[in-house]
Structure 1
Amino acid sequence: MTQPTPDERLRRWRLLLGGPTRSGELADGTGCALGEHDRRLDAALAALYDSAPFGVPGQAPPKGKKEKAPKSAGLGQSAPAVAAWLGEVRELFPQSTVQIMQADAVEKLGLQTLLLEPELLNQIEPDVHMAGTLLSLKDAMPDHAKALARQVVGRVVSDLQARLAEPLRSAVTGSLNRSQRSRRPRQNEVDWGRTLLKNLRTYDPERRSVIPERLVGYGRARRKLKAVTLCLDQSGSMASSVVYAGIFGAVLASLPSLQTNVVVYDTGVVDLTEHLSDPVDVLFGVQLGGGTDTSPALEYCKGLLHHPEEHTFVLISDLYDSDGPQMIRRLREFAEMGVRVIVLPALDDDGTPSYHAEYAAQIAALGIPVFACTPDHFPDLMAAALQGADLNAWAAARGIVTARAGQS
């Protein structure tokens, strides 16, 4: 890797440190003059990170900190100003950086209310976190802003489906087929690859072909042979997990040999199964925020367990519950009924969720696997669950840390 020159290192320090400057004037402390492009970079960064260095404008700095004198640049509380800033950021920075700066702007400068403005929504770079923010604000949006917000969320859904839908379909379909293998398949049900492998000893050199003595194939799948229920905690901290779970739920529902239900809850319970044909409808049926009361949701889901031994139940929650002992008792009941229960404290890309460790350990003591899962791992997880694999071993083989009994 080529090492930066001393001038380039000085330039980078200048952009990192910032500092008051006027056109044609050297930056304080570095003696480094900025070109036109760098001045634009500096102004975009300063508008976000220098105008309110300790949070929302007007917030006092932490003890022991001296607040910097703010620059004249800043986002203010104006939708046109923020929209112009977003456009500038999208032009100057790579997409991954844009998404970080958008999230920081919402958090640092308190721009949630401005996200209701169509002018601002048109400039947003869609990503999972922004989709979660918009979903949490949807009930406060006027109709004209809500239509644009649906478009933004729809773009996120389309991008994620393009990446994740086919791996999930392939993994789950393969799992269901393998669990229904037949030794007396009909012609259109023969698994020719496995049949050839099972009959290699009957190879006829003269005919240059295998004469199979035993056919191996897939049995005719009974409609809705297996079932999956995704039960989603829709408290505000679970926003990204809800976005991913809604998309996965819609994909699973598209598989005719699988019965899929999606239930969301906070202090109330909503069954979104009838909306699974459109994942955007699923997400807009979610009410992010509020408290967490899992027990009523589990009681509702119990009514969906028509064939417990064929049912995989996935609870996606950080387990910060208003009645943890009751939640754990109901999960124990599910496991004793023969349901394959999985608890995911998070289903997102972060990988280090905050969750109630004591409750997680108590659930793990019941033999129920508890671990965070990234979206890329979820297809294989569902395939392993439907095959009845040891999910703690599955997680360990992938370096995923699971909750253990006695840990807290």
Structure 2
Amino acid sequence: MTDTTAGAERLRRWRMVLGGGEADGTGWVPGGRDAAMDGALAALYGGPGAGRGDRAERSAGLGGSAPHAARWLGDIRTYFPTTVVQVMQRDAIERLGLSALLLEPEMLEAVEPDVHLVATLLSLHKAMPDTTRETARAVVRRVVGRLEERLAARTDAAVRGALDRSARTSRPRHADIDWNRTIRANLKNYLPEHRTVVPERLVGYGRAARSVRKEIVLCVDQSGSMAPSVVHACVFGAVLASMRAVATRLVVFDTAVVDLTEQLDDPVDALFAAQLGGGTDINRALAYCQSRITRPADTVVVLISDLHEGGIRDGMIRRVAAMKAAGVEFVALLALSDEGAPAYDHAHAAALAALGAPAFACTPDLFPEVMAAALEKRPLPIPPPST
């Protein structure tokens, strides 16, 4: 690339960033595809003379027309990659008040589905007309299907492996010997002259261990800031509920507590049964979960919350301490999403850490490993804090 070409490309990029008008100082005029891209950006972030970051000066170029907005959504899907489209959709909903337009089917058919769009639709679903409701469910199902495809096999393998290892014993009775694993574990002791393996180490399953079914309780804060976590938790709840080796309960809460366990056959049903927004009463939710625990030593409770407690603050910590003292494995996740930790209550996080339940943000990809570690009662794979 020549210096002249490189210089023109730099001017082009600066012009696309600054948005045109006298203030950009580039003197470069977009044409063709660049002009169309610039128009799509200007409709959302402001027309000529308004800096991209200047929200006060922006112009709401998408108007109040669903067909107009739907055409704009189609344009940005043409000109930008999916990850950028999702960010622009989110900005359009938040900055230009397009939530109401999502109640119209033609808008929903034009959007790029993602977790944030699902959260928005869930917050609007009670206001949806019947003509939009099925379209919204189809959009949510597409996102849930993608998440299940991405996460189900990994979760199944990690959890089954953890249960397998925790049930395994090296001193089994004869009837409980797992001969396949025993042979594999002792291949180094093969005696060719006798054509046999000397089993120095026996591997098997204890009868009691095989009969005990582990219990998992997902207790999920459904306040507005936790919306992506609710989506992922419902997907994981459905995956875990499909495994006969564990009994899974899904509880969502704000100031009220809702048990969605019966909806776990279909995570879309569970999501539409949730009510995003509202206050937060963690103590009340944990009290409900605690009342449903019958075998503490075989139970893992996963609290997914930013820990901003609106209920009895000291009561929440005392309840966690009581569960842990009874033998419950307790995991505290500040978020279950790809976006890192939200703003959270540092004092409560420190109090939980002092009880041996460190609170940390967890990505969906890491969650299967966290569950496996909790089921085996070994140290959790806590990610390093982001810098």
Structure 1: how far apart are the matches of 2:239 and 2:304? Answer: 17
**Aligned twin of 1:359:** 348
Deviation at 1:327, TM superposition (A): 1.5
Q: Which segments of 5 or more consecutive residues in structure 2 lack a partner in the other structure?
A: none
- The equivalent position to 2:101 in structure 1, one of 89, 114, 117, is 114
Match of 2:281 in 1: 293
Instruction: Name 2:371's counterpart in structure 1.
Output: 382
Which residue of 253, 272, 284 corresponds with 2:260?
272
Query: Which residue pairs with 1:249 in the alignment?
Result: 237
Deviation of the 1:366 alpha carbon: 1.7
1:104 counterpart residue number: 91
The letter of the residue matching 1:149 is A
| Deviation of 1:197 (Å) | 2.5
Quick one: which of 237, 247, 253 aligns to 2:225? 237
Shift, 1:206, TM fit: 3.5
Deviation at 1:388, TM superposition (A): 0.5
Q: State the 1:33 CA deviation.
A: 2.7
Structure richer in helix, relative to its length = 2
Give the residue type in structure 1 aligned to 2:84.
Answer: T
CA contact (8 A) 1:292 1:320 kept: yes
8 Å Cα contact 1:54/1:108 also seen in 2: no
The structure-2 alpha-carbon separation of the partners of 1:214 and 1:325, relative to structure 1 and needing over 3 Å to count, comes to closer
- Specify the SS of the correspondent of 2:359: coil
Alpha-carbon shift at residue 318 of structure 1 (Å) = 0.7
Match of 2:320 among 331, 336, 339: 331
In the alignment, structure 1 residue 140 sits paired with structure 2 residue 127: yes
Q: Secondary structure at the match of 1:315?
A: strand
Alpha-carbon RMSD across the aligned residues, in angstroms, is 2.7
**Offset of 1:178 from its aligned partner?**
0.9
User: Aligned partners of 1:298, 1:193: CA distance in 2, in Å?
Assistant: 40
Separation in structure 1 between the aligned mates of residue 284 and residue 254 of structure 2, nearest angstrom? 9
The residue number in structure 2 matching 1:404 is none
The equivalent residue for 1:320 is 308
**Secondary structure of the residue that 2:220 maps to in structure 1?**
strand
CA contact (8 A) 1:249 1:260 kept: yes
User: Partner of 1:231: helix, strand, or coil?
Assistant: strand
**In structure 1, distance between residues paired with 2:175 and 2:28:** 78
After superposition, give the CA deviation of every residue in 1:316-335 in whole Å (9 maximum; x if it has no partner).
Answer: 11111112222222112211
| Structure 2 residue aligned with 1:372 | 361
Identity fraction in percent? 52
Does residue 172 of structure 2 align to residue 180 of structure 1? no
Q: Which amino acid aligns with 2:7?
A: P
Deviation per residue, 1:357-408 (Å, 9 max, x gap): 11111222222221111111100000000001022xx31xx4257xxxxxxx
**What TM-score, normalized to structure 2?**
0.90
For the residue of structure 1 that corresponds to 2:302, the secondary structure is strand
Matched, 1:196 2:184: yes
Q: Which runs of 5+ in 1 are unaligned?
A: 22-26, 62-66, 402-408
2:6 pairs with 1:5: yes
AA at the equivalent of 1:115 = L
Q: After TM superposition, which residue ranges in structure 1, 4 or more long, deviate above 3 angstroms?
A: 1-4, 51-55, 184-187, 206-209, 211-215, 217-224
Contact 1:341–1:369 (CA under 8 A) maintained in structure 2? no
Q: Is the 8 A contact 2:18 2:51 kept in 1?
A: no
Q: Residues 43-92 of structure 1, C-alpha deviation per residue, up to 9 Å, x if partnerless?
A: 0000000059699xxx993xxxxx37x5xx81012111111100011111
Q: Between Structure 1 and Structure 2, how many residues are aligned?
A: 379
Give the match for residue 406 of structure 1. none
Structure 2 equivalent of residue 30 of structure 1: 26
What is the distance in 2 between the residues matched to 1:128 and 1:148? 16
Structure 1 residues 224 and 233: CA distance shift in structure 2, 3 A: farther
Query: 1:399 matched to which residue of 2?
Result: 384
Distance 2:158 2:55 in 1: 52
Partner SS, residue 144 of structure 2: helix
Matched ranges for 1:47-196 at <5 A: 47-50=43-46, 61=56, 67=57, 70=59, 74-182=61-169, 183-184=172-173, 190=178, 192-196=180-184
Within the candidate set 32, 36, 57, 1:40 is matched to 36
